[in-house]
Amino acid sequence: MAIRNIVKYGDETLRRVCRPVEEITPRILTLLDDMAETMRAANGCGLAAPQVGILRRIAVVETEPGELIELINPKIIAFAGEQREQEGCLSIPEKWGITVRPAHVTVRATNRRGEEFEVTGSGLLARALCHEIDHLDGKLFVDKVIKYID
């Protein structure tokens, strides 16, 4: 495993739509491992592949220590409610804002073994899932900020 460089705001990679993963190869598995290590080293709770310069539909989320969720080709299939909470991004360091996100989401994705699964989350987990999936579509949290926090 290796810690990768995190792409920063202003890099056009962050605004590009990612390609689906067609096959889970050793390179994809290494990317998942590296992304988890990179996210943890940066004290984040989520990281998407474009944040490390890879335009593939891959993200990792860990809102509870030791409960890593690896997402390949994730898609939000259900959402409900609303939350207005503070949000930040590893690609936009030291910038925080209040965003409006669903209070609850269900995401369908593929795991590292090629198995389809669903994860349902509320609160921070819902926000993190939405945030990372937005990255895969070239969207950033600053696009959703309703109020910046100093």
CA separation (Å) from 127 to 63, 77, 133?
A: 10, 15, 10
Residue 132 designated active-site: yes
DSSP 42: T
The tokens for 77 are 């299939």
Q: Determine contact, residues 49/57, Cβ cutoff 8 Å.
A: yes
Angstrom distance (rounded) from CA 41 to CA 98: 24
Q: Say which DSSP state 20 is in.
A: P
Inter-residue contact 76 to 89 (CB < 8 Å)? no
Active site residue ranges: 132
